[in-house]
Amino acid sequence: MATTDLEQPDNDGLSARATRALKAVPRIWNRFWRLVSLYMPKRLYARSLIIVIAPMILLQSVVAFDFMERHWATVTQRLSQATVRDIAAIIDLIEAYPHDADYANIIRIAQDRMQLKVDLLPPDPLPPPGPKPFFSILDDVLSAEITRQINRPFWIDTVGNSNIVEVRVQLENKVLRVFVRRSQAYASNTHIFLIWMVGTSLVLLMIAIPFLRNQIRPILALAEAAESFGKGRPMSRDFRPRGAEEVRRAGFAFIQMRERIERQIEQRTAMLTGVSHDLRTILTRFKLQLALAGGKAETKAALDQDIEDMQSMLEGYLAFARGEATEDPGRFDLAGYFQKLGEEAALRKCKLSTTLSGDPTVHVRPNAFTRLLSNVIGNAFRYAKTVEVNANHSRGFLVVTIDDDGPGIPTDRRDDVFKPFVRLDEARNLDASGTGLGLSIARDIARSHGGDIALDDSPMGGLRAVIKVPA
């Protein structure tokens, strides 16, 4: 019982260490996968190649290592045993027949029966050991066999001649020199197996790479079609769902989704067009009745202004609901727009500076993009005395930055200004006739192009608006 009590703490310690080790496994595994994800290629094609190539390399490495460790080393050892056994037999013959007249027969027997070239040298000291090759399996095996079977001082050279191995053994009053063909002591043709293995793998890779590319091409086509649709551009007529069944299903689902969205937009546009026509007719009647009605001129002027404000608000509502989705994409000239913008700034008595870097044209829906810029820059003209507009291309996007020296917008209200019908109470408010849709329409147009608008503090002390759309 005493022994059990003494061993109990050790068992508890082992159990605690095992528990800690098991708890550490998920953490180590998560770190490993984070490291792999960090260096993993981002593209599907590259990842697919790794999935194909990595197991193939691992399998070949295991097979090659096992082959080298077992088969190659075993065959080389057996060949070296036989060669050293022949050399030991020659030494026994020399010691059994020590007369010079017998040496010629011994050399002849070694040449004819054992395929060894033998001669006897004066009893000079053996040369110093030479440098061993990097992969010295023959040196190691041959040296071990000579030590085990002959157990005399020796010297070997496996690098002086690629086809011949030279062995010198110190005898009592002579030095035995033996030239052995490398193929007799070494499995020299084993590299053929490795060449065939690597060559076969390369052939398989040459077949697998085009196959993988063909499998991934439909996915890339689907991604391009979805990206074009998201940017409001027409989808390529060549797009057709292809590839594996799952990819085709995703392609057909995308086409059906696009058709449903386009149908809904068409229905909404048609309905709003009818509503716009009816409401404009009513406003026109109001104008006619007001023109025919009597009354004070001041009252009529006020009512006429109210009707104009109602019509302006109506146009804003319809523009927001309709968007510009039906417009076809085309080239938009920023340089020409900036020139017209300068004229507008002069009329508003506002100081304007524009900077344009890179290509002056961009592929967008021209009318919608004009409305986008006009809403944002017009907002800056309304509240600032100095406005700076900078346009440049960055990583496939057109970036337009508008800075002004106006009152700005509080940080916590910047998201609110993009909401429909929101009108701030602060200094940067809309006019009395405003609808609260200017920036909402602008962001809607930017996002329909695959971009967005962001607001920030301007170095000029006012508001900075950054418009970013695909070029």
- Of 171, 186, 201, the last residue of a domain is 186
CA distance 354 to 400: 10
pLDDT of residue 2: 43
Give the CATH number of the domain where residue 461 resides.
3.30.565.10
What confidence score (pLDDT) does residue 280 get? 74
Is 201 part of any domain?
A: no
Q: Could you tell me if residue 148 is inside a domain?
A: yes
Q: Cα–Cα–Cα angle for 210, 213, 218, nearest 5°?
A: 140
H helix and E strand count, the chain: 12, 11
Series of mean pLDDT values for 10-residue runs along the chain (471 residues): 46 68 76 75 80 85 76 80 90 86 86 89 85 72 88 86 86 90 75 80 87 86 84 73 87 89 78 72 77 68 73 66 65 91 88 90 88 89 91 90 90 83 54 60 86 92 92 78
Q: In the numeric block, which tokens belong to residue 230?
A: 């998201």
DSSP track, 268-313: HHHHHHHHHHHHHHHHHHHHHHHHHS-S-HHHHHHHHHHHHHHHHH
* C-alpha–C-alpha distance, residues 96 and 73, integer Å: 34
Residue 223: inside a domain: no
User: Which structural domain, as residue segments, surrounds residue 307?
Assistant: 279-322
How far is the CA of 470 from the CAs of 70, 117, 418, 450, 453, in angstroms?
61, 80, 20, 6, 12
CA distances, 63 to each of 41, 59, 68, 193, 327 (Å): 28, 6, 8, 11, 63
On whether both 103 and 170 belong to a single domain, the answer is yes
Give the pairing type, strands 463-470 and 452-457. Answer: antiparallel
Can you give the pLDDT at residue 186?
Answer: 76
Q: What is the pLDDT of residue 432?
A: 42
CA distance 150 to 87: 9
The reply to whether 304 and 387 lie within a common domain is: no
The answer to whether residue 396 is domain-embedded is: yes
Same domain, 362 and 425: yes
Boundary of a domain, candidates 155, 186, 217: 186
Tokens of 74: 């075993």
User: Do 394 and 442 share a domain, yes or no?
Assistant: yes
Answer whether residue 60 is part of any domain. Answer: no
Task: Quote the pLDDT of residue 189.
Answer: 65
In a domain, 8, yes or no: no
Identify the burial level of 84 via C-beta atoms within 10 angstroms of its C-beta, where 0-12 means exposed, 13-18 middle and 19 or more buried.
buried
Q: What's the half-sphere exposure (Cβ side, CA atoms, 13 Å) at 446?
A: 25
The CATH code of the domain that includes 99 is 3.30.450.300
Q: How many distinct structural domains can be found in the chain?
A: 3
Q: Is residue 293 part of a domain?
A: yes
Please indicate, yes or no, if residue 308 is contained in any of the structural domains. Answer: yes
Tell me: do 285 and 160 sit in the same domain. Answer: no
Same domain, 117 and 163: yes
Q: Please check whether residues 86 and 112 belong to one and the same domain.
A: yes
Strand order in the sheet with 175-181: 117-121, 175-181, 164-170, 154-157
Q: Which of 136, 160, 186 finishes a domain?
A: 186
Residue 236: phi, psi to the nearest 5? Answer: -60, 135
Q: In this structure, are 177 and 287 located in the same domain? A: no
Same domain, 342 and 318: no
Q: 337 and 362 in one domain?
A: yes
* Residue 361 and residue 298 in one domain: no
One domain, residues 80 and 181: yes
